[in-house]
A and B are shown apart, each in its own frame.
Chain A
Amino acid sequence: MRLAAIIKELRRIVGADSVLDQPEDLMLYEYDAGLSVGRPGAVVFPETTQQVSAIAKLANRENISLVPRGAGTGLSGGSISRDGGIVLVFTRMNKVLEIDLENQRAVVQPGVVNLELSNRLAGERLYFAPDPSSQRASTIGGNVSENSGGPHTLAYGVTVNHVTGLEMVLPDGRVVETGGKANDGCGYDITGLFVGTEGTVGIVTAITVKLTRTAEAVETLLAVYNTVDDGAKTVAALTAEGITPVALEMFDGWTLKCVEEATHAGYPLDAGAVLLIELEGLREGVTEQAEAVRQICMRQNARDVRRAATAEERALLWKGRKNAFAALGRLAPAYYTQDGVVPRTQIPSVLRFISGVSEKYGLRIGNIFHAGDGNLHPCILFDIRDPEQVHKTHEAGREILSHCIAVGGTITGEHGVGMEKNELMSLLFTENDLDVMKRVHDAFNGRSILNPQKLFPTPRSCRETNVLMRPEPAKVGAR
């Protein structure tokens, strides 16, 4: 069937106003928030699970790919079509289906925006804990696909720790349920397996999430250091003292200056590094802990430890953190954020390595990251119009991530692999490791209808796998 006929069929399934096929419309869906690009053949806005199932059956029959997409805030190209297939945008499936206060669960459609769920629950002192920086825009369906985290992952875990049930459409159109409201269930934890599969095994159409009780008291501290090393040592010292902050973020001095100039959050302009430390719990405990943390910071040569005295001051400190990349983005035409993770004890040496990479390639690299769990976000600034700089940027990124792997770490802590880092997967995983993952993939998506050419590395030869190359790649638009 030609693309035009497929689009006609899509319009029959979802209605004429729910399909985009004009180049000027499709262009808007070429990107996410990272660097990858790919033009879809059509964009569809389903409103029901049944429509998604019908679309999957159509795609399967016509051998055209499907790529689920939420708000498009991903950083690894997970929601971009690489082969001109159909992008399924979930923004119209944005209903909160159920809130179960007593069991601390909500059942939501995938298009519900992360922060909106928490906002709806504010009066109940409950919230949805995963807090990616994109949480004002990103959807819970997208969070599930990418297994998103954020600053508070340190204490509360990534998305999978907050999902107990899924409704999914499999690539053949079958609708299945996994898990439910209980914490555990009899049989395989397919819910846990599917979270973070980046849309490569099923299309999520409903999600049962845990709701977390809002803490009674919060303390946010800003510890100011002359050197990055002292900040990094504080992270280790807090661990050794048995103190578990709910968030522990670090900025290097240069990044701090850029962020302060853009956001006026009140960060010091002349520091070598700062730690943003947050504690939560009972009033009695948090006050005591804040004092203990202050003393530990001072022992690690902190110049100053400031405490947010009001909710506004706290919000301001966080505003600087959450808008940090945008602030760096003001300094260069483009930036490329890495997402490597290293064992916490390796942070000081890896930061020194990154600074070496920066010098070697002559590229400015800012560091602002989740220090508590070793999740680094070196942000490489470059000029996207200069092919040599683009090349150097990719080389620098690869070198940093290879180093993360070499010290016992990984290539992504919360952004996903997608089409950005799929070639790096073979540095992290052996052929056997990937083969097991591929067998799981093929058990559901053997024809690679769903999100092809993602997550798995390009095979050395095409005979090995159909993960990347579907058996008969649809030449969309061609006869």
Chain B
Amino acid sequence: MTVATTGAGALARDLEAIVGTAGILDSAVSLRQFTIDGVEPRAVVMPGNAEEVAAVLEYANFAKLSVVTAGGMTHQHTGATPEQIDILLRTTRLTGVEHYDAGDLTIGIGAGATLSHLNSLIAPHRQLFPAEVPDPDRATIGGLLATNAHGPLKHAFGGSRDWLIGVRFVTADGKLAKAGGRVVKNVAGYDLMKLLIGSYGTLAVIVGASFKLFPAPRRTRTYVSQFATLDEALAFRRHIMRSPLSPLALELVSPHAQVVMTGDPNALHQGWTVLLRATGSDAVLGRYRSEVGNAAEIEGEDEAKLWRGLAGFPDKVFESSQNTMLVRLDLPPTEIASALAAGEQAATDNNFVLATIGRVGIGSMLLAFCPIAVDPPGVVQFANTISYFRGALSRHASAVVLRCPLEAKRHFSVWGSSPTDVDAMKSIKAALDPNDIFNRGRFLF
């Protein structure tokens, strides 16, 4: 194999030979739109099928070029700043449906398909794919898996880990491979689905995935409960979790998060909100009514709007300020109170206000450290905030900075520590991507 070693033009020509003119972008203007953390890719390819992905990777691996995989580019702000991006590989042309029989409640689809596209295929059959992400028209299946993104329905349906049943991917050396299959129960072979979920494109390029689907709830209702303090809201959480109720979602919204989402400063005085979403017949919803006590009820379009708004929280906080720091916090639920107290303290000490939402039942939270308008925080204060905050967490918790200003990123690790043995992770990375072509320099180690 011959490989261009000089100049972006030569690289683009080599890639074009693999993917054709339809699969390559190389004008300086087009490349600039794909800048990640200020780093512009030398070439952008959009392979039209898995075989082309394989050929691109074989080429890149041979030349030890760095490859960043991208779908809708909705989460590329996460991770350390890349040193160099030789090839940005977009999966957006890999959108074909591999299998869908509504009677099987499973679907297999290309990694580049958007969430909206998938939802449009299954909606007529009254089926549900329980992932909610901020930007479903852009966010892709591959990106959803690579970032282990999730939304409020995770409370009832679990995450990708619980409904990804098969995956097709291409290895760093350009081999097309798969794991799992298209049936809902399958223990044959290693569960590489789990390995690829949340691996942020560092192990392989996902080209297709099969999922378990669920019957869509026929009717839902949301009970909105307000509490003066976080402690009261958490007491309500305990009450619900100990009860026989099985809500679809149980979401905590802090006073500041309410302000961010409604744009109404008075929302601050409403205190802490817990949203409980339930499904069932009149009798079942009546039972929820009696168990949740003094709560407002929302149904129909208002309800749908409320939950869309919540899914859009990450975008909303950056609309109010580009200098926000968004942190994903996964932890045992009993540690939520102390973690949020530490977050408040860190925010106050460093000129932020903290807006929090999250799956309070299962301990998956989003914390937005929003800069105050007067005397906004300097770069070191971002580092101080996250460092203080992480210091207050137990070994079970992870606090990953999903997004923050680029200048601040250079002063700390966006990933933080992991409850999982890092050497074990490194062994797997070395086994699957020995030349470190995937997302070089951006991951945890």
Residues on A facing B (Cβ under 8 Å): 100, 102-105, 146-147, 149, 153, 157-158, 160-161, 165, 170, 174, 176-193, 195-197, 213, 215-216, 236, 239-244, 281-285, 288, 341-345, 370, 373-375, 408-417, 421, 425, 428-430, 432-437, 439-444, 455
Contacts and interface: CB of A to CB of B under 8 A. Distances in A.
Contacts of A186: 330, 398-400, 415-420, 444
Given A432-B175, A436-B179, A189 B187 contact: no
Contacts of B191: 147, 160, 192-193, 195-196
A440 B195 contact: yes
Nearest to A292: B281
A205 B174 CA distance: 36
Contacts of B193: 192
B398 A185 contact: yes
Nearest to A429: B189
B424 A192 contact: no
A201 to B, nearest CB: 8
Contact of B332 (A105, A146, A147, A196): A105
B330 A185 contact: yes
18 contacts: A149-B185, A161-B161, A179-B420, A183-B363, A189-B195, A192-B193, A195-B191, A282-B246, A344-B103, A374-B185, A375-B185, A413-B185, A414-B187, A428-B181, A432-B176, A433-B189, A440-B431, A444-B427
Contacts of A181: 332, 396
Contact of A242 (B126, B396, B431): B126
Contacts of B331: 182
Given A182-B332, A375-B185, 11 more contacts: A178-B419, A180-B396, A182-B363, A188-B428, A244-B214, A285-B283, A343-B101, A343-B182, A414-B185, A416-B187, A443-B431
Nearest to B422: A187
Contacts of B424: 170, 176, 178, 190, 444
Interface string B28-53: 00000000000000000000000000
Contacts of A408: 99, 181-183
Contacts of A412: 186-188
B158 A102 contact: no
A410 B364 contact: no
Contacts of A197: 190
A409 B427 CA distance: 32
B185 to A, nearest CB: 4
B342 interface: no
Interface of B: 99, 101-106, 126, 148, 158-159, 161-162, 171, 175-179, 181-195, 197-199, 203-204, 214-216, 218, 238, 241-242, 244-246, 280-281, 283-284, 286-287, 330-334, 362-364, 395-400, 415-425, 427-428, 430-432, 444
Contacts of A440: 190, 192, 195, 428, 431-432
Contacts of B395: 180
Contacts of B197: 189, 192
Contacts of B245: 282
A125 to B, nearest CB: 8
A103 B333 CA distance: 6
Nearest to A374: B183
A411 B415 CA distance: 39
Contacts of B195: 188-190, 192-193, 440
A409 B181 contact: yes
Given A103-B333, A244-B214, A430-B177, A436 B192 contact: yes
A283 B417 CA distance: 44
A343 B242 CA distance: 36
Contact of B244 (A161, A192, A216, A345): A216
Nearest to A146: B187
A403 B404 CA distance: 52
A432 B170 CA distance: 10
Tell me which of A102, A197, A242, A416 has the highest count of chain B C-beta atoms within 10 A of its own C-beta: A242
Contact of A439 (B218, B333, B398, B432): B432
A282 B183 CA distance: 29
B158 A425 contact: no
Tell me which of B99, B204, B428 has the highest count of chain A C-beta atoms within 10 A of its own C-beta: B428
Please give me the 9 A-B residue pairs with the lowest Cβ-Cβ distance, nearest first: A192-B194, A242-B215, A216-B244, A180-B396, A187-B418, A186-B398, A176-B421, A443-B431, A284-B283
A183 B159 CA distance: 9
A184 B244 contact: no
Contacts of B203: 188
Contacts of A190: 195, 420-421, 424-425, 428
Contacts of A288: 281, 283-284
Contacts of B431: 439-440, 442-443
Contacts of B334: 100, 102-103
A458 B400 CA distance: 43
B398 A370 contact: no
A176 B159 CA distance: 25
B153 to A, nearest CB: 14
Contacts of A439: 431-432
A425 B179 CA distance: 12
Nearest to B169: A436
B187 A432 contact: no
A85 to B, nearest CB: 22
Tell me which of B106, B186, B193, B444 has the highest count of chain A C-beta atoms within 10 A of its own C-beta: B186
B434 to A, nearest CB: 10
Contact of B103 (A236, A428, A441, A443): A236
Contacts of B187: 146-147, 149, 158, 196, 412-417
A417 B188 contact: yes
Contact of B418 (A185, A344, A434): A185
Nearest to B279: A285
Contacts of B280: 282, 284-285
